[in-house]
């Protein structure tokens, strides 16, 4: 198969992603931070480790300030609605993706 929509979905993913996620969901796919049982603690440690890796990757100073979202649209909505306030100016272009333009037009 030749998949031409890769930027939107990151499909197919590297084999290591499938291997890790399969193992994660089978081993510790519970809700991290919800309780103190072993699996929950393990999931929480994986999450903390991921936060630290990403903070280092992005040169962040505090891993706890990282915010995971379900997709880019969700992240952009959070950033745009969270940062802009009445009277602010946002500079964009008409060829910007809908996930940026729609919240801007809404504001
Ligand atoms: C440039 C750009 N921004 C944002 C998005 C939205 O991403 P998501 O599908 O993760 O919400 C896309 C998706 O194709 C995109 O191409």
pLDDT tens readout for residues 28-58: 899 998 899 999 999 999 999 999 999 999 9
**CB 69 near ligand 1, within 6 Å:** no
Burial class (CB in 10 A: 0-12, 13-18, 19+), 13: exposed
Atom of ligand 1 nearest to the CA of 9: 9
Q: Supply the pLDDT for residue 50.
A: 94
Q: Supply the pLDDT for residue 28.
A: 86
Q: Which of 25-34, 52-61, 92-101 has the lowest mean pLDDT?
A: 25-34
Domain ranges of the chain: 6-65, 72-106
> What confidence tier does 9 reach under pLDDT thresholds 50, 70, 90?
confident
Mean of pLDDT values over 13-24? 93
Report the nearest-CA residue for atom 2 of ligand 1: 97
**CB 97 near ligand 1, within 6 Å:** yes
**CB 8 near ligand 1, within 6 Å:** yes
pTM: 0.77
């Amino acid at each position: 198969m030749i998949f031409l929509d890769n930027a939107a979905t990151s499909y197919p993913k590297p084999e290591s992603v499938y291997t890790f996620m399969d193992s994660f969901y089978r081993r510790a796919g519970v809700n991290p931070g919800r309780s103190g049982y072993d699996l929950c603690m393990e999931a929480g440690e994986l999450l903390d480790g991921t936060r630290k890796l990403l903070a280092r990757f992005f040169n962040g100073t505090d891993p706890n300030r990282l915010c995971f979202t379900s997709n880019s649209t969700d992240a952009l909505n959070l950033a745009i609605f969270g940062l802009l306030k009445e009277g602010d100016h946002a500079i964009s272009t008409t060829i910007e993706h809908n996930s940026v333009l729609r919240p801007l037009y809404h504001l």
